[in-house]
C-alpha cells in the first residue's frame, strides 16, 4: 500500500470515528471530503 492510500484510509477512519457513521462507498467518502472543505472554507479568515 502506498503512502497516499494509507493517508486516505486514515482520513476515512477518522471521519468514521468522529461522525459515528460508516463510510461504505467512495461516493460517501468524497461527499464527506466536500463537507469538510466547506467547513474549512467557512471558518478560514479571508485574506485580501
DSSP helix/strand/coil, 19: helix
**Taking the model in full, what pTM does it have?**
0.73
* pLDDT surpassing 90 at residue 23: yes
Averaged pLDDT score across all residues of the chain? 93
* pLDDT surpassing 80 at residue 1: no
DSSP helix/strand/coil, 25: coil
Query: Per-residue confidence at 32, pLDDT binned at 50, 70, 90?
Result: very high
Maximum Cα interatomic distance, the chain, rounded to a whole number of Å: 41
In angstroms, the CA 13 to CA 25 distance is: 13
Could you tell me the three cell numbers for 47?
485574506
Amino acid at each position: 500500500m502506498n503512502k497516499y492510500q494509507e493517508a486516505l484510509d486514515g482520513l476515512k477512519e477518522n471521519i468514521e470515528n468522529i461522525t459515528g457513521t460508516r463510510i461504505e462507498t467512495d461516493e460517501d467518502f468524497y461527499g464527506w471530503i466536500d463537507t469538510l472543505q466547506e467547513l474549512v472554507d467557512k471558518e478560514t479568515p479571508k485574506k485580501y
